[in-house]
Amino acid sequence: MTGITREKCAKLDAADPLAPFRDEFVLPEGVVYLDGNSLGALPKATPGRVADMVEREWGRDLVRSWNTAGWWDKPRTLGAKLAPLVGAAPHEVVVGDGTSANLFKALVAALRLNPGRRVVLGETGNFPTDLYVTQGAVELMGAAERRVDPDGPELAAALGAGDVAVVLLSHVDYRTGALRDMPAVTRMAHDSGALVVWDLCHSVGALPIELSACGVDFAVGCTYKYLNAGPGTPAFGYVAERHHATARQPLSGWHGHIRPFDFTGDYEPAVSASRFLSGSQPLIADAALEASLDLFARVDMRRVREKSLAMTEMFIDLVEPVGLRLVTPREPERRGSQVALAHPDPEAGYPIVQALITRGVIGDFRAPDVLRFGFTPLYLRYVDVFDAATALVEVLDTDEWRDPRFAERAQVT
Amino acid sequence: MTGITREKCAKLDAADPLAPFRDEFVLPEGVVYLDGNSLGALPKATPGRVADMVEREWGRDLVRSWNTAGWWDKPRTLGAKLAPLVGAAPHEVVVGDGTSANLFKALVAALRLNPGRRVVLGETGNFPTDLYVTQGAVELMGAAERRVDPDGPELAAALGAGDVAVVLLSHVDYRTGALRDMPAVTRMAHDSGALVVWDLCHSVGALPIELSACGVDFAVGCTYKYLNAGPGTPAFGYVAERHHATARQPLSGWHGHIRPFDFTGDYEPAVSASRFLSGSQPLIADAALEASLDLFARVDMRRVREKSLAMTEMFIDLVEPVGLRLVTPREPERRGSQVALAHPDPEAGYPIVQALITRGVIGDFRAPDVLRFGFTPLYLRYVDVFDAATALVEVLDTDEWRDPRFAERAQVT
């Protein structure tokens, strides 16, 4: 056994400098929420911020709020608030549109910046939208797609072919939780003559990110996982300053224009990350993001990373005896903020997750066989980790998961 | 004089079958809001609907709401609720992304469906984002753009050239308020071998629209003007059923996949308007749209059109004596739901609008010289039309607008 007890966990919680943040979130009674890597929990400040946006900014001040409430500049002011979380300058990040649209913009812009090469190098197991959007972009651009496993030796070989225009990788793999070495991969890509686009969906808000220091060209990410901005709230795009005069994306709406209120007939992009903007943004959802980012302004991301690794390490240790295969890398420096496990029987994954949900431990299942558990240091306690691991061990030890009701599939995941 | 009095207006209000809807909106005291063509007013049901979404669906039920609250299907269920307002079948409309992204998707799809032709025919005075996104799309597609004044004889001549792949027009011009003849223009385009994309931003919710009956191929529109869904709330896309198996748009995110939860590596689009979806949508903003659409389900759009024309007609009659040039067509069948006026001195437009705002009459100014006044039959009374016209006449008759303070430009319009 591991020697970890619930009492020891309670002591760790008492000494945890991040512990007070838990009180800033709404967490349903009796629930251990290990799905913040899919949808973050609701900050207590958010409902009030959203209501103020709806009732005062929109309802009372109406169209005047484009000026008085800063609506017009919201994609930039939110981008500036988000920038420290990704190691970027304030003018290198804009908030707007979804992850898919931002990926499309970044891929087309990168292909245009590297016109002598026509290959987008992606990863075999990337999140489907990354794969699908790449297919959409390369078809339009007369380019080609190649996929490798970035956690193996294939990446260097693929780059060595000398035809890769741009590399698109997820910083943390959505299924395995593997964390990629952003400095090394970015350097290797640049050395081979390729640009890089990083998808930060599963890392932003979970660990420190240093886009500028790594020399990254473009990055995208969503705001509703570890950033807790609410379901489907707009994504963000990062454009390195050195590309601000030259990166051209094709969704050239008026919010990306250098002088939008001239209402001229010809598109001339702004010389900043604003050129990645297109049209008006859903400002009610943006209000929820603002509440989240204001909370993160008080968070030390190094402490988040320390606690995240301590929690995932503890969870791995506690569940090791039940014999599930650890899909997530064992080395801390190669691990994001989630633990993925697989049962020898691929059909077992779904009912195990359902049995846990019935016990109040919410994780999720990803085809073909992965049980995912996300660890969010801002609102999880060490005792939660202990309780969740205990529940998982019991569900397996007692065969509780074999109850036929847990095999019934819901409409969507 | 016109013979219209405030008393007569009050009688019209008393007999107005749409009058009860005014009580369903938040309208600030002392304001006559004539900018609903830019940002619609707040429905009273919206704050509660948004709060329920945030606090119950997100905060309490968390990730389970993807199933239990219908989040996954929201782009389709909202599309089905919107469909009657544009004369479409429920499965021909999806809600998601912004107007610019939807325009881009429709233009690329239309160009692909008409591969023997390479010209997008647009309008000289269209809203800038329509022009800019067209530029972005034709550059990627190796196509060309041509612009005409669609209210003159040039349109037929341009179509006659035989190289037009797709016509993109605004149903109602954002500046002049001119309403285009959708049946005739669509027929003329089709007869010439072109497809059509209609931008409904300034007509949806203001007048009846019959996309299916007109044989329209694609349409896009925003939800935050006459539909009152809140600032920047997602737009919608219409894809005629006959194109559901063949229209290919390049923002191919996983929400457009035929079997998204298979998480397969290859994109295969859904056979419905869902193929125009990309990624997750801002569901907090979608909740505001749902409140609006539920209100519109009780609205007879023919009555909206009747009242809209009566109000714009009355406003034109009342302000005629002050000598502003009527930019909006005088014929009711060629008019949307706004009245645009111009002063002989182009510098006068901005301060006149500011002087009116100071009096509580909110319209707006659009470069180079247009004063815009939008009329929203659901929450405006005939007495409001009278009061606004009276204020405009006084501001001009007394030279009130010449006060230097009204010439100071705000940051944005």
Distance, CA of A315 to CA of A177 (rounded, Å): 14
List C-alpha distances in Å: B159 to B113, B139, B145, B153, B219.
Answer: 17, 21, 13, 11, 19
- Is residue B19 very low, low, confident or very high in pLDDT (cuts 50, 70, 90)? very high
Q: How far is B220 from chain A (nearest CA, A)?
A: 13
Q: B125-146 pLDDT, tens per residue? A: 999 999 999 999 999 999 999 9
Quote the mean pLDDT of chain B: 96
* Nearest of A102, A94, A95, A76 to residue A249 by alpha carbon: A102
Residue-level pLDDT at A14: 98
Residue-level pLDDT at A376: 98
CB contact under 8 Å between B231 and A283, yes or no, is yes
Q: How far is B2 from chain A (nearest CA, A)?
A: 31
Percent of chain B with pLDDT over 90: 95
The binding site of B for pyridoxal 5'-phosphate consists of 99-100, 127-130, 199, 202, 224, 254
User: Of the candidates A38, A51, A60, which has its C-beta nearest B63's C-beta?
Assistant: A38
Q: How far is A190 from chain B (nearest CA, A)?
A: 26
Q: How far is A3 from chain B (nearest CA, A)?
A: 33
Is it true that the peptide bond before A368 is cis, omega within 30 degrees of 0?
yes
Residue-level pLDDT at B361: 98
Mean pLDDT of the B283-303 span: 98
Query: Which position among B22, B74, B225, B275 bears the catalytic label?
Result: B225
Which pair of structure tokens corresponds to residue B371?
């004063």
One-letter amino acid of B205: G
Mean pLDDT of the B61-71 span: 95
Residues of B whose CB is below 8 A from A72 = 411-412
CB contact under 8 Å between B62 and A41, yes or no, is yes
CB contact under 8 Å between A51 and B51, yes or no, is yes
| Mutation for testing the A interface, residue in B50, B57, B338, B361 having most A CBs under 10 Å | B50
Burial of B404 (0-12, 13-18, 19+ CB in 10 A): exposed
CB contact under 8 Å between A278 and B233, yes or no, is no
Length of chain A: 413
Query: Which position among B104, B174, B224, B382 bears the catalytic label?
Result: B224
Q: Which residues pair with B316 in a beta bridge?
A: none
Residue-level pLDDT at A412: 53
A-B C-beta contacts closer than 8 Å: 288
User: Of the candidates B58, B98, B253, which has its C-beta nearest A279's C-beta?
Assistant: B98
Catalytically active residues of A are 127, 199, 224-225, 372
Which pair of structure tokens corresponds to residue B191?
């007869």
Angle, vertex CA A76, rays to CA A75 and CA A79, nearest 5 = 85
* CATH assignment of A6-30+300-407, among 3.40.640.10, 3.30.70.1430, 3.90.1150.10, 3.40.50.10070: 3.90.1150.10
* CATH 3.40.640.10 describes domain B48-296: yes
Q: A196-217 pLDDT, tens per residue? A: 999 999 999 999 999 999 999 9
* CATH assignment of B6-30+301-407, among 3.30.2400.10, 3.30.360.10, 3.40.630.10, 3.90.1150.10: 3.90.1150.10
Q: Per-residue pLDDT for B410 more than 80? A: no
Q: How far is B68 from chain A (nearest CA, A)?
A: 9
CB contact under 8 Å between B280 and A99, yes or no, is yes
Residues of A whose CB is below 8 A from B280 = 98-99, 222, 224, 231-232
Q: How far is A284 from chain B (nearest CA, A)?
A: 5
Query: Which position among B372, B373, B384, B406 bears the catalytic label?
Result: B372
Distance, CA of B124 to CA of B149 (rounded, Å): 6
Residues of B whose CB is below 8 A from A67 = 410-412
Distance, CA of A45 to CA of A370 (rounded, Å): 34
Task: For residue A248, give the chain B residue with the closest CA.
Answer: B136
Place of tokens 């049962």: A343
Residues of A whose CB is below 8 A from B51 = 47, 50-51
Residue-level pLDDT at A413: 47
Residues of A whose CB is below 8 A from B412 = 66-67, 72, 261
CB contact under 8 Å between A98 and B278, yes or no, is yes
CB contact under 8 Å between A26 and B55, yes or no, is yes
User: Of the candidates B124, B128, B280, which has its C-beta nearest A263's C-beta?
Assistant: B128
Contacts of A276 (CB under 8 A, 6+ apart): A94, A96, A102, A105, A106, A109, A237, A239, A247, A249, A256
Residue B193 Ramachandran class (φ > 0 left, ψ -120 to 50 alpha, else beta): left
Q: Per-residue pLDDT for B413 more than 50? A: no
CB contact under 8 Å between B54 and A42, yes or no, is yes
User: Of the candidates A35, A59, A132, which has its C-beta nearest B267's C-beta?
Assistant: A132
* Nearest of B377, B374, B388 to residue B16 by alpha carbon: B377
* Nearest of B199, B188, B184 to residue B105 by alpha carbon: B199
User: Of the candidates A47, A71, A97, which has its C-beta nearest B98's C-beta?
Assistant: A97
Residues of B whose CB is below 8 A from A364 = 63
CB contact under 8 Å between B62 and A280, yes or no, is no
CB contact under 8 Å between A285 and B280, yes or no, is no
| Mutation for testing the B interface, residue in A129, A268, A372 having most B CBs under 10 Å | A129
For chain A of 413 residues, list the mean pLDDT of each consecutive stretch of 10. Answer: 89 98 96 97 98 98 95 98 98 98 98 97 96 97 96 94 97 97 98 98 98 98 98 98 98 96 93 97 98 98 98 97 95 98 94 96 92 98 98 97 89 50
Tell me the backbone φ, ψ of residue B133, rounded to 5 degrees: -65, -35
Distance, CA of B52 to CA of A338 (rounded, Å): 30
| Mutation for testing the B interface, residue in A67, A77, A140, A280 having most B CBs under 10 Å | A280
Does the annotation count B382 as an active-site position? no
Does the annotation count B372 as an active-site position? yes
The ranges assigned to domains in chain B are 6-30+301-407, 48-296
B198 in helix, strand or coil? Answer: strand
- Is residue B324 very low, low, confident or very high in pLDDT (cuts 50, 70, 90)? very high
* Nearest of B135, B137, B87, B77 to residue B112 by alpha carbon: B137
Mean pLDDT of the B171-198 span: 98
Residue-level pLDDT at B262: 87
- CA–centroid distance for A44 within its chain: 21
| Cβ contact B12:B31 at 8 Å | no
- Is residue B412 very low, low, confident or very high in pLDDT (cuts 50, 70, 90)? low
Distance, CA of B46 to CA of B409 (rounded, Å): 32
User: Of the candidates B55, B97, B131, which has its C-beta nearest A265's C-beta?
Assistant: B131
- CA–centroid distance for A83 within its chain: 14
* Nearest of B401, B345, B78 to residue B237 by alpha carbon: B78
Q: Per-residue pLDDT for B411 more than 60? A: no
| Mutation for testing the B interface, residue in A284, A338, A353, A409 having most B CBs under 10 Å | A284
CB contact under 8 Å between A232 and B47, yes or no, is no
Q: What is the ipTM of this complex?
A: 0.97
Mean pLDDT of the B178-204 span: 98
Query: Which position among B199, B286, B364, B369 bears the catalytic label?
Result: B199
